[in-house]
Amino acid sequence: MPSVPSVRGIRVVRALELHGFKVARVNGSHHITRHPDGRGTTVPVHGARDLAKGTLRGILNEIGLTTDELGL
């Protein structure tokens, strides 16, 4: 399994937006994103803290993209 980088949640949200995802709503610190083709995921945005690597890996699995494809 390839390693994933340490990135902040807001950077993941911005990268998702470049791939057609839109923030559907925000529930607390969690940004729920949706793509027109039906894919969606939740990204925790906790200020200056990086996402846990397992959380980022799960997000990538949900949307079917790799870190290279997402531009991280």
CATH of residue 54's domain is 3.30.920.30
Domain span at 53: 9-65
How remote is the C-alpha of 59 from its chain's centroid?
A: 6
Containing 56, the helix (H) or strand (E) segment is helix 53-63
Q: How many domains does the chain have?
A: 1
Query: What does the pLDDT read at residue 1?
Result: 60
Q: What is the pLDDT along the chain (72 residues), one digit of tens a residue?
A: 678 899 999 999 999 999 999 999 999 999 999 999 999 999 999 988 999 999 999 999 999 999 999 988
- Tell whether 52 is covered by a domain: yes
Residues 6+ apart with CB under 8 A from 2: 66, 67
Query: What does the pLDDT read at residue 55?
Result: 95
Query: What does the pLDDT read at residue 3?
Result: 85
Q: Which residue do the tokens 């969606």 mark? A: 40
